[in-house]
Amino acid sequence: MYAHACQVCGSRVETMCSNYSEAAHIRGLGGPHLGPDQLSNLLCLCPDHHVEFDRLAIYIDEDWTVRRNSTGAVEYQLKRHAEHVIEQDHVRYHRALCGRR
Ligand SMILES: [Zn+2]
């Protein structure tokens, strides 16, 4: 869907055989989060933004801007494919973990 381009920064990790990206769960799979393993709960991210997202350094706001949690500053606009329905409830859940409404 994204041809391995990060939905946050748009960069693509090129390797010898193919491009590389990571599937990041918005709401974590295991306990206590119990997020579903579905496309609506997934983002295509580069390794750096996957770590930042999982460690709550960045979050997605209601208007799909990507903000730095420490300052609230807008850093990116989340790239969304027309066929990729992202569940707002999961985004809201992640935002709450970040201490944001
Ligand atoms: Zn990225």
Q: Hey, what amino acid is at 97?
A: L
Domain ranges of the chain: 13-97
Measured in Å, residue 99 CA sits from the centre of ligand 1 at 22
State residue 57's pLDDT score.
Answer: 98
Measured in Å, residue 23 CA sits from the centre of ligand 1 at 12
**What pTM does this model have?**
0.95
Measured in Å, residue 93 CA sits from the centre of ligand 1 at 21
Closest to 57 measured CA to CA, from 13, 8, 23, 21 = 8
Residue 88's φ and ψ, nearest 5 degrees, are -60, -30
State residue 101's pLDDT score.
Answer: 83
Taking only the tens of pLDDT, the chain with its 101 residues reads 999 999 999 999 999 999 999 999 999 998 899 999 999 999 999 999 999 999 999 999 999 999 999 999 999 999 999 999 999 999 999 999 999 98
